[in-house]
Amino acid sequence: MDIKIKQKLEKYNLILASNSPRRQQLFTDVGIPFNVRVIETNEALTDCLSIEDQVMALATEKAEAQNDVLKEKDLVITADTIVVQNNSILGKPQDRLQAKAFLEAYSGNSHRVLTGVCIKTIDKQEVFYEETMVHFNSISSDVIQDYLNQNTFQDKAGAYGIQDSIGKWCISKIDGCYYNVMGFPMAKFITQLQRFLSDE
């Protein structure tokens, strides 16, 4: 990590408001120390906003849920990831049947993955999003069943992880950030964080 960012972060208690093991691992991998504090929100979507505004609104809602416990030196990071195909938002699957339908829809098609991120202190906040286009090869029913049998689809937006076996086997290419599809656009986050901290 850039030494200047690291030095500025030292005066904060960085809180990652996410139970996602993938997000937590990404922060660990880049050497950003953090604590986890999650306050549940309803994460309801609305047709009144564009898809881009919706994913940013979800991240903002998670950040603002921290308001009552936010301390002066806290720096909260929240995120929300959605998958969009044919202008339909695909969240975490409700069950195996819905996950199967998602995967069948990806076969031979492309979809968008958007992650909204909010950076918040007691004095200010910034929200942004990143988008990646994901292209799938045709997926056989055997590959889908094998993946579903692994039971790794349940906690993932769109019912798959790019780092999982089905991603390695079936994704032909992506346009954009790989880590965004994992659930957190780390490169863009570092850029936005540097800008956020430069005003301090």
List, by residue number, the catalytic residues: 80
H or E element, residue 118: strand 110-120
Distance CA 82, CA 92 (A): 8
DSSP 29-91: HTT---EE----------TTS-HHHHHHHHHHHHHHTTGGG--TTEEEEEEEEEEEETTEEE-
- Helix (H/G/I), strand (E/B), else coil: 116: strand
Tokens of 27: 């922060």
